[in-house]
């Protein structure tokens, strides 16, 4: 018994509606910021709006830093645990300036990380 291959048919693709509005224009205008690369193994991702809302609500100090550092927080804390506080402060200022250029670098509210 011989079988003849069936022709594949697919439903015609509907054209997607054009995306109109400033939301879509701003998404195109505001390019994503590359990760902050602290070491070859520690990368900090650009904070989301949700993260920043949690950052502003968190008490100053390690809790707010943990929100800002995201998944990299434990690795960052371990890396700086035995180093002078000023080195940690310099890193947090640098991260802030990386993601929020032109805002001064001392915008983070951690007393430890703003010195």
16-54 pLDDT tens trace: 778 889 999 999 899 889 999 999 999 999 999 999 999
2: left (phi over 0), alpha (psi -120 to 50) or beta: beta
pLDDT (0 to 100) of residue 26: 93
Share of the chain above pLDDT 90, in %: 64
Q: What is the mean pLDDT of the chain?
A: 86
pTM above 0.75, yes or no: no
Position 58 pLDDT exceeds 70: yes
pLDDT at 3 > cutoff 90: no
């Amino acid at each position: 018994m011989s079988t003849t291959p069936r022709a594949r048919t697919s439903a015609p693709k509907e054209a997607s509606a054009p995306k109109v509005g400033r939301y879509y224009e701003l998404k195109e205008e505001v390019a994503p910021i590359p990760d902050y690369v602290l070491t070859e193994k520690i990368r900090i991702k650009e904070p989301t709006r949700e993260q920043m809302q949690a950052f502003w609500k968190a008490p100053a100090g390690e809790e707010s830093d943990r929100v800002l550092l995201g998944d990299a927080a434990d690795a960052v804390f371990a890396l700086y645990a035995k180093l002078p506080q000023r080195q940690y402060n310099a890193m947090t200022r640098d991260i802030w300036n990386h993601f929020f250029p032109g805002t001064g670098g001392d915008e983070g509210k951690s007393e430890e990380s703003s010195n």
